[in-house]
Amino acid sequence: MKLCVVGTGYVGLVAGTCFAEGGNDVICIDNVAEKIEALRRGVVPIYEPGLAELIRRNVSEGRLSFSTDLADAVRRSIVCFIAVGTPSGEDGSADLRNVMDVAREIGRTMNGYRVVVAKSTVPVGTSARIREAVASATTQPFDVVSNPEFLKEGAAIDDFMKPDRVVIGSTSARAIDIMRELYQPFVRTGNPILTMDNASAEMTKYAANALLATRISFMNEIANLCERVGADVDQVRRGISYDRRIGHHFLFPGVGYGGSCFPKDVKAVIQTAHEQGMPFPLLAAVEEVNHEQKRRLVDKVVTHFGAELRGRRFAVWGLAFKPRTDDMREAPSLTVVEGLLTRGAVVAVHDPEALGEARKHFGDRVSYHRVNYEALKDADALLIVTEWNEFRRPDFARMKQLLRQAVIFDGRNLYEPEVMREHGFTYFPIGRASVRAT
């Protein structure tokens, strides 16, 4: 099938590449010429495991191409995906200007029937607005489909190639048949293709992310309560996770959620409810809990060292909002590092993939280290913010030798308190008993 994907951000690039890997002819479109030229050379602007290799293979085999010419791509495609950004406005609502601009341009250039697919995360009712925008610019027949993505950064290729489910929002039998044909190779193991109306498909995406964000904030509050009452949140987590009504996923406490989806989507649901005259106090609380949780690690530092951190040095391991990505949008590390800097501390940072992104945020206010141990030299403490696998089994003896003080603030509960005690560390986890070196 011939497709075009407008937008080469995270969603568009992954979707376009995976569709090409499935045997389709795909043109990925972007209006930034430098980005398109880089992609043609095999330079991928984001880190996602396996993506660069898939892009290079599908380009070399002629199924995937990159262009700035949207009109040509629309004329050559039967399905046109809109995958441009929808950032949050000041009131929390999604900014749909890019989506509508693309929809109108598709309408102006289409020369026959097209399926116009909203792949961007958009509020309920956007498909109707897209339909109006396309119709205002063409007399050609078309259908609008809502097709939300459910990709986890760091595992996006596997999520796309083996989806839990595919959601198709449309009332057009013709469009649904085309979308089913497109996605059928990805659900051969029997996972469902769910068809529904456009509004329900749009709400499904927001509901999924809002519920996952709620689980995270809930467990973070439970962890904070565990610290006060002397319970161990890891034991509590295991105790509830075997309840089939609850399950094991998204129950690990930490320093809050970040990324491109959860913060933006929670805000969007709250704003949508507000526009309908409906308060949504549950999600407002989820957002507030997350905001405060990002401060927890620095609060622990202040409790231990005092509010004035001038003259102290801290190492920070993990800057991306989660492992296996370089994405720092809304990352807890931003709050942690800024909190330390504001109090006069010197900060040395390490992340396996996100150092380039970190420079955009911190400039020369911190020192950057490609080897995690290098960041520890003469530091008063280590703060762990992202749970990269390479942090899970470090050389504790080497760490203790490099640190000025053997103190760890663990925002992801990577280590067992008793192990920290045996190695002589003062250790502050989340929702578990602290360890004081003797």
Count CB atoms within 10 A of the CB of residue 100: 17
Q: Cα separation of 277 and 251, whole Å?
A: 32
Residue 92: predicted pLDDT: 76
Residue 145: predicted pLDDT: 98
Q: Which residues are catalytic?
A: 261
Q: Report pLDDT digits (tens) over 320-336.
A: 999 999 999 999 999 99
Q: How confident is the model at residue 403 (pLDDT cuts 50, 70, 90)?
A: very high
Q: Report pLDDT digits (tens) over 201-223.
A: 999 999 999 999 999 999 999 99
* 340 neighbors 362 (Cβ within 8 angstroms): no
Instruction: Say whether 118 sits in a helix, a strand or coil.
Output: strand
Q: Report pLDDT digits (tens) over 176-197.
A: 999 999 999 999 988 999 999 9
Q: Cα separation of 280 and 164, whole Å?
A: 28
In the predicted model, what is the mean pLDDT of residues 270-295?
96
Residue 88: predicted pLDDT: 78
Residue 103: predicted pLDDT: 97
Q: Closest Cα to residue 316, out of 262, 269, 365? A: 365
Residue 236: predicted pLDDT: 98
Residue 43: predicted pLDDT: 92
pTM of the entire structure?
0.92
The amino acid present at 367, given as its one-letter code, is S
Cα–Cα separations (whole angstroms), residue 373 to 213, 349, 399, 413: 32, 10, 7, 19
Pairing of strands 367-368, 426-428: unpaired
* 407 neighbors 426 (Cβ within 8 angstroms): yes
Helix axis angle for 198-229 and 262-275, nearest 10°, is 110
In the block, tokens 């950032």 appear at 87
Rounded (5°) CA angle 13-19-25: 100
Residue 260: predicted pLDDT: 86
DSSP state of 209: H
Residue 14's region, left for phi above 0, alpha for psi from -120 to 50, else beta, is: alpha
Residue 380: predicted pLDDT: 98
In the predicted model, what is the mean pLDDT of residues 25-35?
96
What is the average pLDDT score of the chain?
96
Instruction: Say whether 104 sits in a helix, a strand or coil.
Output: helix
Q: Which domains does the chain have, with CATH numbers?
A: 2-196 (3.40.50.720), 205-292 (1.10.1040.10), 294-428 (3.40.50.720)
Lowest mean pLDDT, pick from 70-79, 255-264, 350-359: 255-264
> Residue 290 corresponds to which tokens in the numbers above?
């997350």
Q: Report pLDDT digits (tens) over 70-123.
A: 999 999 999 999 999 888 777 778 889 999 999 999 999 999 999 999 998 898
Pairing of strands 381-384, 313-317: parallel
Lowest mean pLDDT, pick from 86-90, 170-174, 343-347: 86-90
Instruction: Say whether 352 sits in a helix, a strand or coil.
Output: coil
Residue 94: predicted pLDDT: 81
Q: Cα separation of 422 and 323, whole Å?
A: 28
Cα atoms in the 13 Å half-sphere on the side-chain side of 276: 12
CA Rg, the chain, in Å? 24
Residue 330: predicted pLDDT: 96
